Amino acid sequence: MKKTAPVFLAFLAMGFADVAGPLVSLAQQTFSLSTFTAELLPFSGFLFFGLLSVPMGVLQDRKGKKYLLVLGLSVALAGLLIPIVSGLYGPKPVIAPGAIGKFYVVMASILLLGAGAAILQVVGNPIMRDVSPPGAYSRNLSFAQGVKAVGSSLGFLLPPLAVAYLGLDWPLLFPVYAALSALALLACLPLELHEPKDPASAPATLGSCLALLAQNRFVLMMTAGIFVYVGAEVCLSSGVPLLLKSAFGITSFGLWISWALFFFPIMLGRFAGALILRRMRPARFLALTAALSIFGLLLILAGPRDAAFLGSVLSGLGFANVFPLIFSITVDAYPAQSNEISGLMITAIVGGAIIPPLMGLLADAAGSVRWGFLAPLAAFVYIAWLAAANLRAQAAPEAQAEPALP
């Protein structure tokens, strides 16, 4: 626990980057923005996942995991201090008509927060393997993702509370996030890690990462699983509030209801996953969570409000452990390439910027937000295929030698 506690705090800080989602509507209202301009916030948050992840995997191999852990927390903290220095620290912003300079301050903050989160994602997942006892990696990673979900939830829960009970507004997020990030940084500074290196193995490079992706079909298909999963999660996080409004006329307390229907089940599912993985193999658990997610998405598509609400909850529970399961299964299969795998899989988070527009195209073509959920459904059909392929590979006699997908 002495080594895992600071890493869990780093996962909490990692979740702060997800504030880009709820900030879209909050910033749009505060700064009188067009929808396109407001949507630059999540684009800023996702940008560095695509640009930094593989280079950070290479840097991690050369400098070590603790170096990267401290770097990620420092970059995120720097981003959170920018709006505080600029006067966005809690009181309701007073913005002159046509003046959106403060919005660009927020966008710069989200850009650095996303960069820090990208670095933390690269290092956080493999470092959990280093600080976990033998056999505890998958469940600790699921628990850590649950802690990350707590950080993500603050972006939905804190702004309404700040307005209702504190007489403040959504900029209160910045000093709260900054204080928690500083705490995580201080906790990680004394962390001691044993990172043995095989002198016969070559250091990771950008070329070795791309070569692993090109030459290893198992890593390629599992990385694609991360890509479609993150895209599906962003589809649900943005699609559930739209469904509440367009199909059921629910506009009041939108952030809280959306959190209760999707993000709260994700958080519960991740903590429960840490317990379930004490008794169940990761590959079998991945198959069960994929099946639950598909069932939940079909309920959302079914029509009645109660079925859609239940489907959102079941989808959240099913989505909860997909990322840590795919990641840990892959790293456990190729531990010597953990740095390259981490860089590749965190790069795949950019799927969150690519698949949601496909959901929008489907919704527009069908004239209903509901049918846009076919996009995350297709993503989870692929993940179910991955899970089934892993189960078959583990059951085969040659599974002890090397994993393989059909």
DSSP tag of 18 = G
Handedness of CA 49, 119, 281, 395 (dihedral sign): positive
Please state the rounded mean pLDDT for residues 17-35.
77
**How high is the pLDDT of residue 271?**
83
Length of the chain: 406
Report the distance separating Cα 202 and Cα 193, nearest Å: 21
Q: Which of 100-114, 122-136, 320-334 has the lowest mean pLDDT?
A: 122-136
Report the distance separating Cα 177 and Cα 82, nearest Å: 12
Report the distance separating Cα 47 and Cα 68, nearest Å: 19
Q: How many CB atoms lie within 10 A of CB 273?
A: 26
Report the distance separating Cα 25 and Cα 146, nearest Å: 25
Q: Is pTM, for the whole model, over 0.75?
A: yes
Does the structure show a pLDDT above 60 at 126?
Answer: yes
Q: Which two tokens stand for residue 372?
A: 């846009």
Q: What is the 3-state secondary structure (H, E, C) of 66-82?
A: HHHHHHHHHHHHHHHHH
Confidence tier at 225 by pLDDT (50, 70, 90): very high
Confidence tier at 344 by pLDDT (50, 70, 90): confident
Confidence tier at 99 by pLDDT (50, 70, 90): low
Which residue is listed with tokens 């710069």? 108
Q: Cβ neighbours of residue 12 under 8 Å, at least 6 residues apart?
A: 147, 148, 150, 151, 180, 184
Considering the domain delimited by 204-397, tell me its CATH architecture: Up-down Bundle (1.20)
Please state the rounded mean pLDDT for residues 26-45.
75
**How high is the pLDDT of residue 204?**
65
Report the distance separating Cα 336 and Cα 399, nearest Å: 18
Tens digit of pLDDT for each residue in 274-287? 888 888 999 999 99
Q: What are phi and psi of 209, to 5 degrees?
A: -65, -50
% the chain with pLDDT above 90:
38
Q: What are phi and psi of 252, to 5 degrees?
A: -70, 140
Q: Cβ neighbours of residue 77 under 8 Å, at least 6 residues apart?
A: 116, 178, 181, 182, 185
Identify the residue with better confidence: 149 or 290: 290
Q: Where does 78-192 show beta strands of DSSP type E?
A: none
Does the structure show a pLDDT above 60 at 365?
Answer: yes
Handedness of CA 317, 357, 220, 131 (dihedral sign): negative
Which residues of the chain form CATH 1.20.1250.20?
Answer: 1-134+165-189, 204-397
Residue among 126, 16, 12, 10 nearest 69 (CA): 10
The fold of the 1-134+165-189 domain, in CATH, is Growth Hormone; Chain: A; (1.20.1250)
Does the structure show a pLDDT above 90 at 396?
Answer: no
**How high is the pLDDT of residue 325?**
92
**How high is the pLDDT of residue 381?**
97
Asked if residue 218 lies in contact with residue 212, where contact means CB atoms within 8 angstroms, the answer is no
Does the structure show a pLDDT above 60 at 380?
Answer: yes
Report the distance separating Cα 347 and Cα 233, nearest Å: 16
Q: Which two tokens stand for residue 319?
A: 């989505």
Does the structure show a pLDDT above 60 at 402?
Answer: no
Report the distance separating Cα 338 and Cα 122, nearest Å: 10
Name the burial class of residue 330, with classes exposed (0-12), middle (13-18) and buried (19+) by CB atoms within 10 angstroms of its CB. buried
Confidence tier at 23 by pLDDT (50, 70, 90): confident
Residue among 330, 331, 314, 196 nearest 266 (CA): 314
Tens digit of pLDDT for each residue in 169-186? 999 999 999 999 999 999
**How high is the pLDDT of residue 318?**
95
Asked if residue 293 lies in contact with residue 246, where contact means CB atoms within 8 angstroms, the answer is no
- Give the three-class secondary structure for 229: helix
Angle between helices 351-366 and 217-248 (to 10 degrees): 40
Asked if residue 348 lies in contact with residue 223, where contact means CB atoms within 8 angstroms, the answer is yes
Report the distance separating Cα 35 and Cα 288, nearest Å: 38
Report the distance separating Cα 155 and Cα 20, nearest Å: 8
